[in-house]
A and B are shown apart, each in its own frame.
Chain A
Amino acid sequence: MVRIRVPMLPAPGELPWSASVNDTEVDIHVESNAILLDVLRDQVGTLGVKRGCDMGTCGCCSVLVDGEPRLSCLMLAHEAAGCALTTVEGLADGHHLHPIQETFTTHGGSQCGFCTPGFLVVISALLEENPEPNEAEIKAAIDGNLCRCTGYQQIVDSVRAASMIITSGKKTADATDPMPDPHPGMPTVEVESEELEVVPDE
């Protein structure tokens, strides 16, 4: 015989909840028992926060709570009320990607990309606190984030490269600048101009 295990209590009431998410004030109503990850994804709409295991193992759901990396899947939303929350969407500075976002693309730090938001957020906090981490410090900082694709070496390389950008004091490129060559390294093919004529639909 199947028995229902959970006491069938009425859903907990909704309470006002406000926080600054990526520098935008959010004022909403949130259930008393809500988990921060669910609120960020389902109510605030910051879908960059990923749900991996939902159990504290993988680090995909990492966000910054007042600058400190925390697992949003294991945090009650109401404990984070009033805090400054940063998700991966909040890392870029206007049109300039955060250095770690840029070096993840140039150094292969991201493959399937599912773990990437978690890594980016955690590494941005590491670089904020320690702009020149050594290998052991990098590994210690990411030991709560799992990646099934990269084998971690490319991630460590990306952190080193980002650290170089930060310590040089330079900004990353403006992501909206037109690229001089969108396909670097591709052989150029000469195309006769009449071949490009647009044939209208019938």
Chain B
Amino acid sequence: MRMPPFELHLPESLDSAMTIAGELADEDCDFDWIAGGTDLLPNYKWHLNSKPHVISLAKVSELSTLEPTHIGAMVRLQALATSDSCHPLLRQTSGTIASVMIRRSGTVGGNICLDTRCFWFNQGEEWRRSIDWCIKCDCGTGADCRVISHQNELCVATYQADLAASLLALDATIHLASPDGSRSLPLAEFFQEDGITRNVLKDGEMVTHLTLPDDAEDWQGDYQKLRLRESWDFPEAGIAAAWKIDGDGNLDGLRVASTALESIPRLHQELADEAREGWAGVESVNSLAVAVQKAVKPVNNTWFPPSYRKKMVRVLTRRALAPLERVEAAN
């Protein structure tokens, strides 16, 4: 497929990446970061919102650190899936992403910043022309959203990356850098409920790494994913749960997060806290699963109908929480 024209920059350190980003900003030139390219390049091949400049992070070695509580943005998903020095929940989750070949290229940073997806949008140019485009790539026609028409300017494309749910359940912090400096924020505050802007990254800003709290190893968890073909499909719904069991074998902490159901992944902390207070094994598993199902609002822009995905949320949550069926609340 014909690639749109762009100029590639290949910095070899974080500093020079920042310098190039700063220079492009000064010249008012739009650019995209490229990490593994497994999301950006298919989108570019379809001529979806390509930019005149692309800065590759492939040679920036500082971003590839992988330690139990520190995950560099350029850590490859396959490295995460086979590493002994990462949290078991992240190992399990990254092992479910795409196929082994895509995991060899795809990175953690690219997965977190994955563009939102929609079956009216992730299509070739002819196809999109035939539906007169849509807000996310309107080609100057002022086209409406094809999923929810006559609403407003909001694009409701779905965030279909897996890792975010598990990282939310492990209470991760995300670290960002830009030519103006760096900042850190809880991962839950990184995402923005808008299929076009997606997250709080400012122009020229990038993700450098994620960290987990020091007590992350005391937390166990599970990730459950619904997809069309097990070999490589994107999640149609994903539920991550993480919990902490105290010395007496009772439930001392619980987090549940969902992904692939809305424009952002969501941490359902209030629901989890409520359930944990009077935790009563199977009963609580079932009621929390129903509560999470009620909390998510999938729309009709992926392969499975939203009603089915919503129903499966209950099933996936129950499966993820199955190890807690015989556990009681901590006093």
Contacts and interface: CB of A to CB of B under 8 A. Distances in A.
A33 B56 contact: no
Query: Which of A59, A70, A76, A145 has the largest number of chain B CB atoms within 10 A?
Result: A76
A117 interface: no
B141 A3 contact: yes
Query: Which of B8, B42, B56 has the largest number of chain A CB atoms within 10 A?
Result: B8
Interface stretch (A5-13, A19-27, A103-111): A5-13
Contacts, number: 102
Given A55-B45, A62-B101, A76 B38 contact: no
Main secondary structure of the interface of B (DSSP, over half): loop
B5 A11 contact: yes
A144 B99 contact: yes
B7 A54 contact: no
A33 B45 CA distance: 11
Interface string B4-20: 11111010000000000
Given A79-B10, A143-B99, A6 B38 contact: no
Contacts of A56: 38, 41-42, 98, 101-102
Contact of B10 (A55, A78, A143): A78
A15 to B, nearest CB: 9
Contacts of B61: none
B263 interface: no
B177 interface: no
Nearest to B48: A5
Nearest to B52: A9
Given A71-B105, A79-B59, A145-B101, 16 more contacts: A3-B141, A9-B52, A11-B5, A12-B6, A33-B7, A35-B3, A54-B45, A71-B101, A74-B36, A74-B38, A74-B42, A76-B58, A79-B56, A143-B100, A143-B231, A144-B231
14 contacts: A3-B140, A6-B50, A13-B7, A33-B5, A33-B8, A54-B1, A55-B45, A71-B101, A74-B102, A76-B41, A78-B8, A79-B56, A144-B231, A146-B231
Pairs A-B, 8 closest by C-beta atoms: A144-B101, A144-B99, A79-B58, A32-B8, A144-B100, A9-B5, A33-B3, A3-B139
